[in-house]
Structure 1
Amino acid sequence: MSDVRPEELTKVFAEVARGLIAHEALPNVLDAIVRLAVETVDGCEEAGVLVLDRRRDFETPSASGDLVRESDRAQFECDEGPCLDAARNESSFLVPDMAAETRWPRYRPRAVALGVASMMGFELFAHDGVFGALDLYSREPRAFDERAREIGWVFASHASVAIAAAQRAETLRAGYATRQEIGAAVGILMERYRITGEQAFEVLKRASMESNVKLREVARRLTETGEVPTGR
């Protein structure tokens, strides 16, 4: 995209934004981000999303190929690397030539062995102890120039908005499903014991506390098996 004029680039990113938002489910959004990153950012041959949680567990929920997954695994095993830095420190990075890199001395030789020549990445999100980064790879050194970095920044901003929208949608869907399951369980108890809705809900709450099982799970078990979990 190095020869694209600014006004054309604006149109491209408008289309990218619409394309990302169109994928409602979070896994689909992440897959679209990876695919569009390779198509949009000059020099990018492979791309992936790295997720790191508060327990220091890592995941690569979307990647364009094995090179990305192996690179993420190497960084986690070495406990260092540009993608981990981007996620942990909420920052961006640019590695012009991995073979000449002096940072990450444990990770660098493994990256070179994998065929990684240059990299670029951006922090995507950080909330509730979960950190994420969008990482771009090339098998050629100095594949990413300043223009590619600027385009990457804009793309990552659109990607972050799309991820946030997908996460909100998932939260809403989960809340709706919970209300539906609890409502169905309340109805079963009302019919079975000829009690009010408030009384039926109290039965579910008491069963949840006594069995140390979440209310939604208590409701789900009741609707599936007809039984209410107890603490005994």
Structure 2
Amino acid sequence: MVTVSDPDELQTVHLRVAELVQGLHNRPDTDSDTVLAELAEHAAVEITGAQYAGITLTRNAKTIETPAATHHWPLLLDKIQQRHLEGPCLTAAWEEKTVHVADLETDERFPKYRKDALSETPIRSIMAFQLFIAGETVGALNVYSEQPGAFGADSRNLGLIFAAHSSVAWNSARREEQFRRALASRDSIGQAKGMIMERYGVGAVQAFELLRKLSQDSNVPLTRIASDLVARAQPSSP
């Protein structure tokens, strides 16, 4: 946890976060889960007042995931949100805003969540920042403290910086994963087409049409049809 006392220090933290994200981009083996885990760890350290941090993701406001958390408490709090379909992190994710719970003992916005959070965890203050995620998924970067009134203006400024960088980093990592999956699918389809062309003496278009018909008839994705065909053609291990 850091304390930001002036604009120069805020700028310094901003640069540290940018360098962190750049470092994640430069590592060839970094996947989206790793990006989120590392950003959550750094958020718990950098954001003023934070003891713990976590990422909340949801697609339809009914199913909640916690792909990254620095402690058991963020995981449990998301389970409570899932239980009651209400809470500050879920609200931040869907309503595209920052949600600040200064003192869970007195905050009345999420009554069911508040009751269980108070009885099951020591968390007393929360600040949640909406993540700008491409596609149907929405999310929030959340920080937590066992002390009421732990978060203020510095926390909000740093949290917004982290949320912006986290959104960019995760979207980029997801695009890389999608690109790698697309390449793998293309390779599998290409190999399967080649096998059919060689075995049945047909052209590339005819081979692809055969794969497509098999996919339609069996109601199985074309990429899986191709992968299974290639896998069956591999020699068995002794």
CA contact (8 A) 1:20 1:32 kept: no
Match of 2:11? 10
Q: Does 1:81 align with 2:75?
A: no
Does 42-51 or 14-23 show the bigger shift?
14-23
Match of 2:27? none
Question: How far has the Cα of 1:103 moved from its partner?
Answer: 1.2
Question: How far has the Cα of 1:54 moved from its partner?
Answer: 2.5
CA contact (8 A) 1:116 1:137 kept: yes
Question: Which residue, out of 126, 142, 146, partners 1:135?
Answer: 142
Q: Does 1:19 align with 2:26?
A: no
Question: How far has the Cα of 1:13 moved from its partner?
Answer: 2.3
Match of 2:189? 182
Unpaired runs of 5+ in structure 2? 25-29
Match of 2:215? 208
TM-score with structure 2 setting the length = 0.89
Going from structure 1 to structure 2, the CA distance change for 1:214 and 1:30 (only over 3 Å counts) comes to same
Deviations 1:1-44 (A, max 9, x none): 32454334324322322323433310001101110101110110
Question: Which residue, out of 94, 101, 114, partners 2:100?
Answer: 94
Deviations 1:151-190 (A, max 9, x none): 1111111111111111111111111111111111111111
3-state secondary structure, aligned to 2:105 = helix
Match of 1:39? 45
Question: How far has the Cα of 1:127 moved from its partner?
Answer: 4.2
CA contact (8 A) 2:53 2:70 kept: yes
What letter is aligned with 1:190? M
3-state secondary structure, aligned to 1:198 = helix
3-state secondary structure, aligned to 1:140 = coil
What letter is aligned with 2:142? D
What letter is aligned with 2:97? S
Question: How far has the Cα of 1:52 moved from its partner?
Answer: 0.9
Unpaired runs of 5+ in structure 1? 228-232
Going from structure 1 to structure 2, the CA distance change for 1:164 and 1:68 (only over 3 Å counts) comes to same
| Equivalent runs, 1:124-163 vs 2, <5 Å | 124-163=131-170
TM-score with structure 1 setting the length = 0.92
CA contact (8 A) 1:90 1:126 kept: no
Q: Runs of at least 4 residues of structure 1 off by over 4 A? A: none
CA contact (8 A) 2:62 2:85 kept: no
Please give the alpha-carbon distance, in whole angstroms, between the structure 2 residues aligned to 1:121 and 1:51: 12
CA contact (8 A) 2:4 2:48 kept: no
Question: Which residue, out of 48, 61, 65, partners 2:67?
Answer: 61
Q: Does 1:52 align with 2:58?
A: yes
CA contact (8 A) 1:124 1:159 kept: yes
Quote the sequence identity (%): 35
Question: How far has the Cα of 1:91 moved from its partner?
Answer: 1.5
Deviations 1:125-174 (A, max 9, x none): 34433211111100001001111111111111111111111111111111
CA contact (8 A) 1:21 1:29 kept: no
3-state secondary structure, aligned to 2:111 = coil
